[in-house]
A = this chain, B = another copy of it.
């Protein structure tokens, strides 16, 4: 199976994207197309000891690169031959089975819509975020693709998320929660009250409203929200985690006994930090477009890129796209 990697996307591209691709082909039964400026990529491959690239990694040329902070809509229209567009084209044309990118998220979403289009019947694609809690983890969606949503979008997000967790993570009848402000029915805003009602009458395993606590306890496998609320929530979670690590660091610098304690606990603290870094978990899916697209954090290192390539492969092999298509009918 061939995975198209946007080798120019990400804060540490192309060094880490190339390294990640090489790791992936070594550890997984997969081939990777490194899409980007050919000179740059060949040089990087050579630098990493792979002049005359291994057969399972090949360079596919793209003549442009979208900057990490470039306005997305503009970049997509003006840079038709960007690495992300060319990577998506490989999927569109059936050469590759999935795309992985650590590039500008807005641009990846816009490009995916432009090049692959929406899955028939899907109103809006949704961006997922994965929390490593509970037995299978929790997929939250939408976390940023659609700031303003109609009830019908959220109902589709619930279906897509449910199918994704079932197919890719092997969860039987994933529990679906609606991100809201109190567990009782009737709590929430105008949007969620309407969505609550519709989900209750859906075939999904809908368990009602959930709050941050339930997400972090792993009491559901899918959490749906509009992209504004979802994005605010994940950023608040990240902000809190960073705050706690920062506070701990400050305390440690103040007293010797805290420093000693921290040294003893170092592996545990590092493990927790890693666990919270969702890039580690192999990226997050963009659901609802007509192809498998996995998006990584901009600051992804090789390990995260490798994991994302594995996720992309598993998603493509799982038939999640076909299952969604069937569900929509």
Contact = CB atoms under 8 A, between A and B. Distances in A.
B251 A258 contact: no
A189 B149 CA distance: 9
A228 interface: yes
Interface in A193-247: 211-217, 225-229, 231-244, 247
A257 interface: yes
Nearest to A188: B147
Given A211-B232, A233-B233, A147 B244 contact: no
Interface stretch (A40-48, A264-272, A307-315): A264-272
Nearest to A244: B244
A135 interface: no
B260 A272 contact: no
A235 B212 contact: yes
B243 A181 contact: no
A179 interface: yes
A228 B263 contact: no
Interface in A102-160: 133, 144, 147-148
Contacts of A276: 244
A262 interface: yes
B189 A228 contact: yes
A173 interface: no
A257 B260 CA distance: 11
A248 interface: yes
A180 interface: yes
A136 B302 CA distance: 40
A133 B244 CA distance: 11
B180 A232 contact: yes
A275 B250 CA distance: 14
Given A188-B228, A228-B229, A232-B232, A240 B212 contact: yes
A214 to B, nearest CB: 8
B239 A216 contact: yes
A212 B232 contact: yes
A260 B268 contact: no
Interface of A: 133, 144, 147-148, 179-181, 187-190, 192, 211-217, 225-229, 231-244, 247-248, 251-252, 255, 257-258, 260-269, 271-272, 275-276
Given A180-B232, A248-B272, 4 more contacts: A212-B237, A255-B268, A258-B265, A261-B262
Cβ-closest 8 pairs across A and B: A212-B239, A261-B264, A261-B265, A212-B236, A251-B268, A216-B243, A216-B239, A212-B235
12 contacts: A179-B232, A212-B236, A212-B240, A213-B235, A215-B236, A228-B229, A240-B240, A244-B276, A257-B264, A260-B264, A261-B262, A261-B265
